[in-house]
Chains A and B, each alone.
Chain A
């Protein structure tokens, strides 16, 4: 072999290695990506359902793989086999009777709901692997006698209380004849489908497309069904500033990830007056409370939110207090509440909370009646905060307040009407208020590891599907232990592996979202 041929051979070998690496990279990357759930069933659902509930039926998807693993961690032994065996015990063969239904997604929808005459329309729609076999299974197992009907060129089967049709790859099971005909109308294009509704599309785009369960709800249809379209109720909701969230369509997804289950909800409406509280942020006070805090609540801009709510709804609130009979208007009620605390107006206290505010509680003796709790809040004006807090503490004190210097900070303590010692101190730009022991520990920073640095908290925050806004964190294992009298052995397998949970509200990209996660430990 000549030198030129040898060099050429080396070049070709390098090129082949590059080809192998490129194919490997592309296949490994693209094949492992989380698969999206294509909600084909929404193409057959009428455009105005009150409720649309869809399920991911691809059991090989990343969601189901993670879900089965999490169920195993919760104590189930080989849940896939258990599921199959349970059905087999009931005479249902998975391969023949269940597998034909698993074509990727299945849904239930409900519309025309009216509680006054107990009327309801709806259907179950299943994207099938084998729709013909799925239809046979339902016909055989229902025990009904079906007669063949035709509508708009589509054949369907009338079983009295059940109506069946095969539309493409989908099996439709409707609860009444008109629901079946509506689905057929949607399938033939005579009526618009849910998939074509802009609110549905935008909510679908806002939420993750990889999930176990997807729920779409048109709250307006629900309130119409329950309250018969009560205009006064709708007006009241709108006036309260919650109308946008309460009456517009919303959607939610529930999913599974390696470390836990998550959920996320979004609404078409804007957060409105409560928007300042839902600003995305990183909570700084988590690093100022002990790692064994079982409950940690964090919010922001409470004063600004109150100002906006009051500004927009003062008339309605005035009316409310007048109708209650105790006060002539809102201002009078606020003044009375303030005077109870030794203030001119309760707004003096509310106005202190113009930045981040957190509440934390922990149970050092594992006794739920002996909680240690603190409120930590940013303060813009330390002198004003001291004046307000002195008034609040004095109003509930059994004896004269006493002061103490902790870690260079002057703290004030009182024994309140219940006999518990409470206190507060102002450290730099924030205030700490709570049970004496807790407030002292937070100011002195002598509580050991902090929550913000705790692995369990960090893991739970990391798994959140959205940014944090106003949220509550729960150390589920600790709280369960408290309810069991602090005895870990009393917890069952599932309770032992539950770790942290977060319930969160945030406004992102102009959309109000509720999200949450519960993490599950390795066994």
Chain B
């Protein structure tokens, strides 16, 4: 495959990878939740269940921020998928791509801090790969 072909494939892959990754495992539960595997989708739900417990304003706000941040991965994945064919033209492509990069970096830092340097769960790994591909296309595609 030519370099141009690879670049196109990379552009087209970012969104689907992030979207699929959202629904695959991101983390094991801590403590007594060790038996539970959380995907991005189930993390949003679990945080929602915690919110229903009339927590303090700070905790409640923190959970909303966490839910929206995780939800942002699905939205960014969808935007990347839709805008990949016109990636030069609409600012939404860059915005969603950089969101994935920032999120993946933050998740990597949290993951390394929690578990050390290990292979991340498959879903999170796909999101990180999507972010790396986006970065790669930014550096290699001429403007």
Chain A CB count within 10 A is highest, among B33, B79, B90, for B33
Segment with Cβ contacts to A, from B45-53, B109-117, B122-130:
B45-53
- A233 neighbours in B (Cβ, 8 Å): none
* Complex Cα spacing A28 to B40, Å: 11
- A9 neighbours in B (Cβ, 8 Å): 89-90
* CB-based nearest A residue for B83: A16
B1-53 at interface with A (beta carbon < 8 Å): 29, 31-36, 38, 41-42, 44-46, 48-50, 52-53
Q: CB distance B44 to A84 under 8 Å?
A: no
Given contacts A95-B34, A102-B35, is CB(A12)–CB(B90) below 8 Å? yes
- A186 neighbours in B (Cβ, 8 Å): none
Chain B CB count within 10 A is highest, among A16, A59, A98, for A16
Q: CB distance A31 to B41 under 8 Å?
A: yes
- Provide the B44-88 mask, 1 if CB < 8 A to any CB of A, else 0: 111011101110000000000001000100110011001100000
A186-210 at interface with B (beta carbon < 8 Å): none
Q: CB distance A60 to B29 under 8 Å?
A: yes
- B46 neighbours in A (Cβ, 8 Å): 60, 65
Q: CB distance A59 to B33 under 8 Å?
A: yes
* Complex Cα spacing A306 to B79, Å: 69
- A238 neighbours in B (Cβ, 8 Å): none
Chain B CB count within 10 A is highest, among A12, A32, A95, A103, for A32
B120 at the interface (CB under 8 A from A): no
- B54 neighbours in A (Cβ, 8 Å): 258, 522
- B121 neighbours in A (Cβ, 8 Å): none
Q: CB distance A28 to B71 under 8 Å?
A: yes
A402 at the interface (CB under 8 A from B): no
Q: Chain B nearest CB: distance from A190 CB in Å?
A: 32
Q: CB distance A31 to B42 under 8 Å?
A: yes
Q: Which residues of B contact A (CB under 8 A)?
A: 29, 31-36, 38, 41-42, 44-46, 48-50, 52-54, 67, 71, 74-75, 78-79, 82-83, 89-90, 92
In the complex, the 7 A-B pairs of residues with the closest C-beta atoms, listed nearest first: A31-B45, A32-B48, A102-B35, A99-B35, A99-B34, A95-B34, A20-B75
Q: Which residues of A contact B (CB under 8 A)?
A: 9, 12-13, 16, 19-20, 23-24, 27-28, 30-33, 58-62, 65-66, 69, 80-81, 83-84, 94-95, 98-103, 129, 258, 522
